[in-house]
Amino acid sequence: MMPVEPKLNPLTLLAAKRRALSLPVYDLTVSNPDVAGFAWPREILAAALGGPGCERHQPDPFGNIEARTAIAAYYTQHGAAASPKHICLSASTSEAYTWWLRLLCESGDNVLVPEPAYPLISILAEISRVKIIPYRCEFKEGLWCVDPASLKPDAKTRAILAISPANPTGHTLSVADLKALRDAQKKAAPSCVLIVDEVFLDYPAAAFAAPSSVLAHKNLDPLIILSGLSKVTLTPQLKVGWSVLTGSSEWLQMILPQLEHHTDAFLSVNAPAQVALPFLLKEAPAYRAAVRARLDANEATLRAALVRLAGCELLPRQAGWSVVMRLPAGVDELSFALQALEEGACVHPGHYYDFASENCIVLSLLADPKDFGAGLDALIRALPRC
- CA 62, distance to chain mean position in Å, is 22
Distance from C-alpha of 57 to C-alpha of 345, rounded to nearest angstrom: 47
CA nearest to 328, candidates 339, 320, 336, 318: 336
Buried b (16+ CB within 10 A) or exposed e, 269-299: bbbbbbbbbbbbbeebeebbeebbebbbebb
Per-residue pLDDT of the chain (386 residues), as tens digits, is: 445 556 778 999 999 999 999 999 999 999 999 999 999 999 999 999 999 988 888 899 999 999 999 999 999 999 999 999 999 999 999 999 999 999 999 989 999 999 999 999 999 999 999 999 999 999 998 999 999 999 999 999 999 999 999 999 999 999 999 999 999 999 998 989 999 999 999 999 999 988 899 999 888 889 999 999 999 999 999 999 999 999 999 999 999 999 999 999 999 999 999 999 999 999 999 999 999 999 999 999 999 999 999 999 999 999 999 999 999 999 999 999 999 999 999 999 999 999 987 799 999 999 999 999 999 999 999 999 98
Task: Please check whether the domain covering 58-280 is classified as CATH 3.40.50.1000.
Answer: no
Phi, psi of 258 (to 5 degrees): -65, -45
Asked if residues 184 and 195 have their Cβ atoms less than 8 Å apart, the reply is no
Task: Please check whether the domain covering 10-39+284-385 is classified as CATH 3.90.1150.10.
Answer: yes
pLDDT for 8 equals 78
CA nearest to 79, candidates 178, 195, 198: 198
For CATH 3.40.640.10, the residue range(s) in the chain are 58-280
